[in-house]
Structure 1
């Protein structure tokens, strides 16, 4: 977290949080969601300003409930997730070594690889608790180039990750990912549910 953010939190500790205004989409784009986008369920406008993107990425954290947020000075801005809290890109260097980088440019070292019922590829890393990231769909062909997949269409197989033992491709259902990896995909929906009378 940036020092200026820590200082603003100390100066104004009780600024109310907000939900619904910021989204991390399925391709790792940060998006601003005005009231019209929120009302229609649209993803919003992609943020393109490099300094702002850097600020968001440096101040992106998770709370005790598994809700990811951007600490914007003294205000906590909860993030709507297009799928997972992290989106990774797969690349291969001139020597043939594979690498994953998250939406902020940080390295992501895979410990496990999953495939959901729609064919999306997800990686869990070595941290505790494990971070979960969906692979950008533009990198599926590169992934397939380094995987051995079953011929029966079951999406079973393994990923050949550099010099280490192959990572088995495990199946997971899209609707199980958030609970298994301890995050809330829509803090706005969670907040609405808390405030809806029963």
Structure 2
């Protein structure tokens, strides 16, 4: 997990910023609800995105802390060939069991970088690859139990 940089100065005259920046379920940045399209701004947000000691996710804008509203999870993952998981900000993530699926079909899991959700465009691919911890394939009945909170894979 990337943590907020301790060497940045804290200036009491620079207020924290809330309600401006959000991350949607597909890992796209939004500023006041509008999708951020500028490549340079997206790169800046990705490079300065971190969690603080209290588990809040934010972007450092110089000494200012811009807290991020999360639609699903702090990290949004894409599934690449060979079972590689890539975060919305371009880092490789290593998953740890269990995988959780909610009643809306959102897949969440813990990674070495922090809590994450799978981008919905990759759900079919992920579900086809899911196995139990002992390596057995996950069938439809097991998926239904997972969604109902009766088991985990």
Choose from 108, 113, 119 the match for 1:122: 108
Deviation at residue 6 of structure 1 after TM alignment? 8.4
Choose from 23, 35, 48 the match for 1:59: 48
Matched, 1:170 2:152: yes
Q: What residue number does 1:183 align with?
A: none
1:89-141 Cα offsets, whole Å, 9 max, x none, are 0111xxxx1110001110011112221222211121246xxx11000000011
Matched, 1:154 2:144: yes
Q: What residue number does 2:123 align with?
A: 140
1:65–1:126 CA distance, 2 compared to 1 (3 A) = closer
Please, what TM-score do these two structures have when normalized by structure 1? Answer: 0.62
Unaligned runs of 5+ in 2: 131-136
Choose from 48, 69, 72 the match for 2:37: 48
The number of equivalent residue pairs is 137
Please, what TM-score do these two structures have when normalized by structure 2? Answer: 0.79
Q: What residue number does 1:30 align with?
A: 29
Q: Secondary structure of the equivalent of 2:55?
A: coil
Structure (1 or 2) with the greater helix fraction: 1
1:16–1:115 CA distance, 2 compared to 1 (3 A) = same
Q: What residue number does 2:133 align with?
A: none
Deviation at residue 65 of structure 1 after TM alignment? 2.3
- Could you list the structure 1 runs, at least 4 aligned residues long, displaced by more than 4 angstroms after superposition: none
1:32-84 Cα offsets, whole Å, 9 max, x none, are 01xxxxxxxxxx11111111111111111222222111111121111100011
C-alpha contact 1:123 1:133 (8 A) present in aligned 2: yes
Larger Rg: 1
Distance 2:72 2:138 in 1: 24
Q: What residue number does 1:68 align with?
A: 57
RMSD between aligned residues: 2.4
1:155–1:53 CA distance, 2 compared to 1 (3 A) = farther
Unaligned runs of 5+ in 1: 34-43, 157-168, 172-198
C-alpha contact 1:6 1:73 (8 A) present in aligned 2: no
